[in-house]
Amino acid sequence: MEIQKSVVVNLSVDGLNYQTTTEASNVNDFLKEKGFENYSKDFIVPGLNWPISPYSNVSMVSLKELSIKVDEEEREVETTRRTIEKLLQDEKIKLNPFDIVEPGLNELVQDKEEIVITRIEKKNIVEEEAIEYETIIEGDKKLTWKKQKTKQEGKDGLKEVEYELVYKNGELISKTKLATKILKEAQSEIIVEGRKIEIESTQKGLASWYSWSGQMKCASVRYPRGTWLRVTSKDNGKQIIVQVNDYGPDPGTGRVIDLDKVAFEKLMSPGAGVINVKIEEIRSD
């Protein structure tokens, strides 16, 4: 009569190591003894018919079901691989250097897990771009006020610009400038503008202020829009030049001109309310 004695067996299940005893004669009986079921698709080393001997090493990696989202499709897969990297190799999914895999490549595969691969592509391009010319205004005291003449034509320049483009799943998400090379310098446009002041008519009276354009503008009843006026404070002699862009002041106020606040401030503090001024109409084309 043969008596089966218990022997020690080293068991590894999905990377977890155990030491146990068994009276089973082969790996298949051993797994059944330990309560494992439906392991026919699992990866088991050594084979199920391999005999059990003292201190045998039995390794089992269970079959796992999971999904992979990549390239606008979702794959349902089964695997006994331990790491995501090995699983992707089995599925022949090639990764680019900047692709993002979630969970990471070195993570252990979990049953019912979802793996998401985000394609990241980077490439450099070189584009030719225009360099817009600037306009320079030069004053000329011999030329009628605000009359303009072109002294030099403006010409755009040309440059090469290198960009890094980053695509996420085929969609452009960023464009970063890396370097610029000037191929042709831009040529500035030079405009000569008249500064000669010739007085057409004069007017005296009270000036008030109002907040409107935030520019050197004014409102006048006498002078039409577009007229240039030199306004002199009779209290301190300060002068400004403004352009009419509005109609006013209202009749009956006793004022002859309304200055925009920024213009009034150059003559007197707005707290003064109204000031005595001399108004001169500047001849212009």
Q: What is residue 15's predicted lDDT score, i.e. its pLDDT?
A: 80
Phi and psi dihedrals of 28, rounded to 5?
-60, -50
Q: What is the 3-state secondary structure (H, E, C) of the chain?
A: CCCCCCEEEEEEECCEEEEEEECCCEHHHHHHHCCCCCCCCCEEECCCCCECCCCEEEEEECCEEEEEEECCEEEEEEECCCEHHHHHHHCCCCCCCCCEEECCCCCECCCCCEEEEECEEEEEEEEEEEECCCEEEEEEEEEEECCEEEEECCECEEEEEEEEEEEECCEEEEEEEEEEEEEECCECEEEEEEEECCEEEEEEEEEEEECCCCCCEEEECCCCCCCEEEEEECCCCCEEEEEEEECCCCCCCCEEEEEEHHHHCCCCCHHHCCEEEEEEEECEC
CATH architecture of 123-194: Single Sheet (2.20)
Average pLDDT over residues 103-132: 96
CATH class of 197-282: mainly beta
64-118: CATH number:
3.10.20
pLDDT band for 283, please (50, 70, 90 cuts).
very high
Per-chain mean pLDDT for the chain: 94
Nearest to 213 by CA among 260, 270, 267, 246: 260
Tens digit of pLDDT for each residue in 156-200? Answer: 999 999 999 999 999 999 999 999 999 999 999 999 999 999 999
Q: Domain-by-domain residue ranges, the chain?
A: 7-61, 64-118, 123-194, 197-282
Instruction: Report d(CA 204, CA 231) in Å as an integer.
Output: 10
* Residue 212 token pair: 């409107």
CATH of region 7-61, choose from 1.10.3470, 1.20.58, 3.10.20, 3.30.70: 3.10.20
CA 193 to chain centre: 41
Q: Tell me whether domains 64-118 and 123-194 share a fold.
A: no
Tens digit of pLDDT for each residue in 173-185? Answer: 999 999 999 999 9
Instruction: Report d(CA 157, CA 130) in Å as an integer.
Output: 6
